[in-house]
Amino acid sequence: MDLDFLNDFTKRMKSIGSYGLLFKNSIQKGTWKQYGIDTLYEQTNLIFSVLLYIMEQSLKDESCTIDDIGNFIDTINMKWFKKQISYDQCKELGDFIVNVILCDDGKAMYFQGFDYEKGQYQEIHISFIANKIIYINEDVRRTSYYLTEDGYNLMLSTLEIESNMKLTIHEMIFKLHMEKASYDKAVDDIKHIFNLLRIQLQRMQEAMRKIRQNALQFTVSEYSRILDDNLITIDDTKKKFGAYREHVRKLVEGLEQQDIHVEKLEDKEAGNLKNLKIIEGYINRALDEYQKILSTHFDLKSMYTKELEALSQMSLIKRFSLRNELYRPILEDAKHLEQLDIFLRPLFNREMDKTYHIGKAFEYQKSIKARELEEAEDLEDFDDEAWRIEQRKKLEEKLRVYKDSLLCILKYTVLHRELSLQELKDILTEEDRELLIPNLEIFREIMVELIKNREFVFDNLRKEREEHFADSVRDFQINLCLLELVEEHESFKRLKRLEVTRTDGEIVEFLNVVSESGQLKKIRCSNVMFRIE
């Protein structure tokens, strides 16, 4: 199991430990009750209000003494909390929050975070505030408090970044790390970006679930916010990350060109290559999430519109009592059963779903009568024999490609009697290389069949062909192709056997091989030895 996601676990624990130590120092302290603050939520709100005040004073580079903190607590208490405490008690409460809760009575605070890379717990030092000596009016000495780096990180983490900005921010950080070649950090960035896209998709799926249950519970503001986030995501993702994917591919190819065997690369280059491949994989997954978000975006809009339309139509429906309007009149007079179809008919009068085929908009428009005549003519002029000849010709052309590749192998092997694939690659002309590898898929199929069969005795192949009756060949069969080549070429008629064996440890590489889809690929395959008798 890949456990790379546990890397830098102690950094996460530092953030969690900040909250843990804060609540540990606060909870079950009897001092709170002296000021009429009994509940955890009241204590937490007041602690973070004080922290926010200290941060504001720190940012303005102004003094923040216990008197200042007490004055702040007194102000917010009179305006909002309404606790029956005096100004002096507010100062005492400020001293309690600062020195007992935030500073743990002056003791150094540590949190045990498990380091999965070292396999042991690590002490993480946490400090929310520090102090310095200041002089007021040049002679009065006071202690002023200010936030440390841990304190700033704690407060900034409590203010959530708008969801439509998260992707942009992390994408900027990812871009900077790529420019600085900090690929190990870029791996974390692209994982975070992929997680944001996955969260966005799950948020949309959850919204669709709510709409199905009751569209009225899903507010217009929520719907608008999700659509805005989707549009920003759709606008940014495909274009930018498509360019990143091409850039990463070029970097990977550049490192692989330096040395095909990864174990011979330097440690740093090998690490970069590994990280770049991880980045490329996550970029591909991010683009897949983009496609899902795009399709789900339109599904969400369609569903919300239909649900609201259905609700609006329901408000126009006239409701009636089945007991009073249907059952009672029938019970009073059974002749009303003859008119029951008047009640049932609307239940089956449903409009057909409207569909639109976009492809029809681009078709050449013809009159219906002319099209029917044309179809009739096509049926009358259809020649079954001509179609069979055309299919046979296509099959022959396909098999010719396979036979040309095998012919290239036989031709060079006959010249040397024994030849490896690596040696064949080195002596091939450019023209023969195209015959040997017409495309990636055909070459792979031929090599797999050769290695799988290992030995081809041509006398046995002839006997097998004579003893077994078969219909015409409809696909590539390596035995028949080899036998036909041997019989078609005078120089091969004396051949008795072709042997194919795999060599251990050697890799043969062919660059710029065209696949069936038209993309250029690189083939790395096992080296094999061809022997002919």
- In tens, the pLDDT along 174-187 reads 889 888 888 888 98
Residue of higher predicted confidence among 354 and 392: 392
Distance CA 328, CA 322 (A): 9
> In which band, very low, low, confident or very high, does the pLDDT at 262 lie, cut at 50, 70 and 90?
very low
Provide the token pair at 255. Answer: 């490192």
Quick one: pLDDT at residue 350? Answer: 67
Query: What tens digit of pLDDT does each residue of 409-459 get?
Result: 888 888 888 888 888 888 888 888 888 888 888 888 888 888 888 888 888
| pLDDT higher than 90, residue 109 | yes
Mean pLDDT, the chain, integer: 82
Least confident of 109-123, 225-239, 255-269, 371-385: 371-385
Least confident of 124-128, 376-380, 403-407: 376-380
Q: Residue with structure tokens 């050769």?
A: 450
| pLDDT higher than 80, residue 318 | no
| pLDDT higher than 60, residue 370 | no
| pLDDT higher than 60, residue 32 | yes
Residue of higher predicted confidence among 218 and 207: 207
Count CB atoms within 10 A of the CB of residue 397.
9
| Average pLDDT estimate for 249-261 | 73
Residue of higher predicted confidence among 473 and 327: 327
Count CB atoms within 10 A of the CB of residue 204.
20
> Do 420 and 526 meet the contact criterion of CB atoms below 8 Å apart?
no
Q: Which amino acid is at 171?
A: E
Quick one: pLDDT at residue 381? Answer: 44
> In which band, very low, low, confident or very high, does the pLDDT at 85 lie, cut at 50, 70 and 90?
very high
Q: Residue with structure tokens 């490609």?
A: 401
| pLDDT higher than 90, residue 100 | yes
Quick one: pLDDT at residue 376? Answer: 46
Q: How far is CA 76 from the centre of its chain?
A: 47
Quick one: pLDDT at residue 284? Answer: 87
Quick one: pLDDT at residue 50? Answer: 96
Q: Residue with structure tokens 């102690």?
A: 10
Q: Per mean pLDDT, which of 132-136, 210-214, 259-263, 323-327 is the most reliable?
A: 132-136
Quick one: pLDDT at residue 379? Answer: 43
Pairing assessment for the beta strands 120-126 and 129-136 based on DSSP bridges: unpaired
Quick one: pLDDT at residue 378? Answer: 44
Provide the token pair at 248. Answer: 């990463």
> In which band, very low, low, confident or very high, does the pLDDT at 122 lie, cut at 50, 70 and 90?
very high
Quick one: pLDDT at residue 367? Answer: 64
> In which band, very low, low, confident or very high, does the pLDDT at 127 lie, cut at 50, 70 and 90?
very high
Quick one: pLDDT at residue 518? Answer: 78
| pLDDT higher than 60, residue 2 | yes
| Average pLDDT estimate for 29-43 | 92
For residue 155, CA distances in Å to 16, 39, 55, 60, 93 come to 13, 22, 8, 16, 21
| pLDDT higher than 90, residue 12 | no
| Threshold 0.75, pTM exceeds | no
Distance CA 68, CA 47 (A): 15
> In which band, very low, low, confident or very high, does the pLDDT at 88 lie, cut at 50, 70 and 90?
very high
Q: What percent of the chain has a predicted confidence (pLDDT) above 90?
A: 20
| pLDDT higher than 70, residue 265 | no
**Local structure of 148: helix, strand or coil:** coil
Provide the token pair at 267. Answer: 């440690």
**Local structure of 222: helix, strand or coil:** helix
Quick one: pLDDT at residue 48? Answer: 95
Q: Which amino acid is at 492?
A: F
Quick one: pLDDT at residue 403? Answer: 83
For residue 401, CA distances in Å to 394, 485, 522 come to 11, 12, 20
Least confident of 17-26, 71-80, 109-118, 162-171: 162-171
Residue of higher predicted confidence among 239 and 130: 130
> In which band, very low, low, confident or very high, does the pLDDT at 96 lie, cut at 50, 70 and 90?
very high
Quick one: pLDDT at residue 317? Answer: 62
Provide the token pair at 394. Answer: 């296509």
**Local structure of 509: helix, strand or coil:** strand
